[in-house]
Amino acid sequence: MRIIGLDFGSKTVGVAVSDELLITAQGVEIIRRKSEGKLRQTLARIEELIAEYQVEKIVLGYPKNMNNSEGERCERTLEFKAMLERRTGLEVVLWDERLTTVAADKAMMEASIRREDRKNYVDKIAAVFILQGYLDSCSR
């Protein structure tokens, strides 16, 4: 069994996948789209990755505000969650993603990745942090 982790953004979706033992998360790719509302190809690519990695569960980053309130991004994420459930038939778990992008950016700075290059990786690394947080919580 594997789990896929998704960092859903306005124009990108960072993707990470667990190992079969559900211990570690690895970054897979960033799915990019031209506009926020164009999700058909994004969902199709996620379905391809689910089949390729034999995924049985989806962990979707849930972008709460720092004060724990839910804003417009949360509404869009809930709509995306419903689409994923309909299209894949898999359970979609929402996971608090506060500060994952900050942590991803910090990890890249520590790895000496140039500022201009970080945007090419940040969503994929944020997806790794989301999925790894979920995996760690399950192992406790």
Each residue's pLDDT tens digit, 29-56? 999 998 877 899 999 999 999 999 999 9
**Are residues 62 and 8 in contact, defined by beta-carbon separation less than 8 angstroms?**
no
**Are residues 43 and 87 in contact, defined by beta-carbon separation less than 8 angstroms?**
yes
Q: Which fold has domain 2-139?
A: Nucleotidyltransferase; domain 5 (3.30.420)
Domain spans of the chain, in order of start: 2-139
What's the pTM value of the predicted model, to 2 decimals? 0.88
Each residue's pLDDT tens digit, 50-99? 999 999 999 999 998 778 778 888 899 999 999 999 999 999 999 988 76
Q: What is the 3-state secondary structure (H, E, C) of the chain?
A: CEEEEEEECCCEEEEEEECCCCCCEEEEEEEECCCCCCCHHHHHHHHHHHHHHCEEEEEEEECCCCCCCCCHHHHHHHHHHHHHHHHHCCEEEEEECCCHHHHHHHHHHHCCCCHHHHCCCHHHHHHHHHHHHHHHHHHC
